[in-house]
Amino acid sequence: MAVGIFDSGLGGLTVLEAVRRRLPEVAFAYYGDNAHAPYGVREADDVFHLTCRGVERLWREGCDLVILACNTASAAALRRMQESWVPPDKRVLGVFVPLIEALTERKWGDNSPPREVAVKHVALFATPATVASRAFQRELAFRAIGVDVEAQACGGVVDAIEEGDMILAEALVRSHVEALKRKMPHPQAAVLGCTHYPLLEHVFQEALGPEVRVFSQADLVAESLADYLERHPQMRGAGGEPVFLTTGEAARVSDQATRFLQRKVTFRPA
């Protein structure tokens, strides 16, 4: 049994790298729905059905636990999946939980009433679909009060990263940060709400300034998964080399992933 990592494209590879470093003894299978990427501009129903299809494929690969390393899927599909679709012997988790835990400094199992937290002004950078869902604000409101969240839809960034055009991606990041700061001139913290964005964390940090704390997901998800597997050891599989699956053209996706991670990665058709 392996742990599944689902993403609409290549961004989830940043999460896979972090969880493999943190949990080298665990086996992983990665599914990239490259044929339908990006999800960030799709309708919620479309994201739901595509995500369910990918998660089912990872179940067939032996992954009873699947992490949605796609913020759009976590925002637009996860709650619906957990409430009406996931069978009792399977688990599907998202990437918002570790972010909320870090931002509010309280564990997910802490069901006490919402309370004030140190950070009052938060910038959220995410895909248009994640911003439209308001899922981050909804989950945050369950645990914290008095937090002002200003969201910036970062159109074009994911496409530029997937195509390997990092010059364009960096220019777009700077433009989106400028747009955010026109709405919220002095954020205390910034949330990178897309698993592609850790590749450009230094650009976000530079554009925001050193006084802004940037929350990036990969390492937070890795720590959260380690904690989850400690509490649910039956979901932990034996280690080994990860399996890479794609709905796209395997050779092309392999080349993109190799460039993305700067090491050889070989995908096979899902």
Annotated catalytic residues are 70, 194
Measured CA to CA, the distance from residue 74 to residue 261 in angstroms comes to 23
Which 8-state DSSP code applies to residue 212? S
DSSP-assigned beta bridge partners for residue 263: none
Measured CA to CA, the distance from residue 77 to residue 43 in angstroms comes to 10
Measured CA to CA, the distance from residue 31 to residue 15 in angstroms comes to 12
Measured CA to CA, the distance from residue 83 to residue 265 in angstroms comes to 35
> Is 265 within 8 Å of 254 (Cβ atoms)?
yes
Measured CA to CA, the distance from residue 211 to residue 228 in angstroms comes to 32
Locate 163 and state its tokens.
Answer: 């195509």
18: nearest Cα among 8, 33, 3: 3
Q: Which residue has the tokens 């899902």?
A: 270
- Note the Cα 118 to chain centre separation in Å: 24
DSSP-assigned beta bridge partners for residue 92: 66
Which residues, 6 or more positions from 91, have their beta carbon under 8 angstroms from its beta carbon? 64, 65, 66, 232, 235
Measured CA to CA, the distance from residue 8 to residue 69 in angstroms comes to 8
